[in-house]
Structure 1
Amino acid sequence: MDWNDKLQRIIDYTEDHLQRKEEPVDMDEITRISGCSYHFFLKVFSYMNGISYAEYVRHRKLTLAGYDLKSSPIKVVDLSYKYGYDSPTSFTKAFQQFHGISPKEARGASARLQVLPRMQVYTRNKYSWRIEHKPSFRLIGKRASISCIAGSPQTEIPGFWNECQKNGIYSQIISLDTGKPKGLFGISEKYDEASDQLSYAIMAISDYILPEGFCEMQIPETSWAVFDCRGPVPQAIQEGWDYLRKEWLVKYPFQHASCPELEWYSDGNSYSSEYLSQIWIPIIIKED
């Protein structure tokens, strides 16, 4: 097993403890996975990722704490112990250093929080694409406003997905999915130049009655250039877009159709190296 594989396994182990088990990471387990001393692992992690392991864990905890404050009535004292701080005071100080605002201010509707996305060890992806013609379909789900300040969408969009997973919206959308095959869509819609905000939605194909508080969208019959992305998200889908912008779109042979570009996320383990996500670009095919 090479170092990329070892680091990915350690990151997966770390995230599992932070997000699911809510337990401290075990240095002995990291030593076992890495096959070297914990001290040497720390050196390798910093060298390969440009951030120390301790800093990565700390920033991920504070990122997750921000989601908790936004999506639940949890008390700051409980949140501080949940993420391993000795006291609410030390937690509040760390939170303010990372996010730039206090935990109390973070509950405000207009508060903007920092996000350190889950790390994925880089592997160069190979992409396949094809043209598919699809009939009209109806989507239902939830929308959010995303800042388009440099670099913000790459952190705020994964943050919106994580928030929906924590507040139950994600599970609700999955339960309404009637698509074949099943999977969720990420959709970047209208851009407001004045506020530099983008409307982004998480949706599923559905025949159910629209639940209260949800939104819907009708996608017309369209031809699509469909690109397969393999690997854990959000990195796989972000690298897919990077590939499209730098290579495929430069040689773009089709006229863009008048409906939004879509991201599709399959029904499976989104942490797996074999996980399938797709980018759908609407195109107009000119007949001879």
Structure 2
Amino acid sequence: MELITSIRKAIDYMEKHLTDNISAQDVADQVYLSPFFFQKGFSLITGYGLGEYIRNRRLHNAALDLKETEDKVIDIALRYCYETQESFSKAFSRFHGVTPTQAREGADVKTFLPLSIKVQVQGGIQMEYKVTTMFQLKVIGFQKEFDYETAYQDIPKFWDEICEKYAANVYAGNEPANPQEKAIIDHCIGEYGVCIDDIGGGKFRYLVAGKYSGGDVPDGMVVYEFPRGDWAVFDCIGPIPESLQSLNTRIFKEWLPGNPDYELCGNGNVEWYDCVNGEKTDKDYHSAIWIPVKKKA
């Protein structure tokens, strides 16, 4: 139950530091997890992005301060880490549906209490996985930065963008017209979707990628290498992206919190897509999620 325990500890930490300018890195450091894996687990288990949760708790407390004290609005804004009264008033009105002045005068405001995390064991369908040791995995691909809180919506759009800009010509059976199109053929780009957490600021890198087989790296592309290690491999059958996102949610809500043998390690994970058989919209389409893990002490 280490992930659940970590989220509980993180909530306690955030409650004590709502008036401090804390970041996702600060919170993740308290529970000894990478920001990428912690924020993903927090969002999937609680239903809130980490930044969204902190913001909602601050605005809840700010409403209480408006109603229970005579402190100036600007002082309350600064207390809860807003740089100006205007930015605070805008966020306050968007969340509560009333202005700070109206709240002070007695208008109703929203309640957003600290989360209480409870463990609920759900059964019926066993989640199949295997743990295997892989050699170094070097990938090449097109890269873009994403925000943790909107990644589920934005990453499929990135795939569409890459396919339209670089892959449509070669997928139609034509000869590559530029180095990027040649790289798609040479390295089977599109076989992997790679998440890498190494930039901070509530963001991570995502690559539409393939296995790097050497040679030039065209403009607009990058190479990344995972070290040798153990990976938990979860097979997925169903149309993309819905089935893979559903599996990802189950991994973090069901498999990881209750797994007695393995815990997360590293700073990334890989989505694998079958580039040979079937279409991604097929009901029996095969894909997988690979997550780096280590044996629990």
Query: Normalization by structure 1: what TM-score?
Result: 0.50
Query: Normalization by structure 2: what TM-score?
Result: 0.48
**Who wins on radius of gyration, i.e. which is larger?**
2
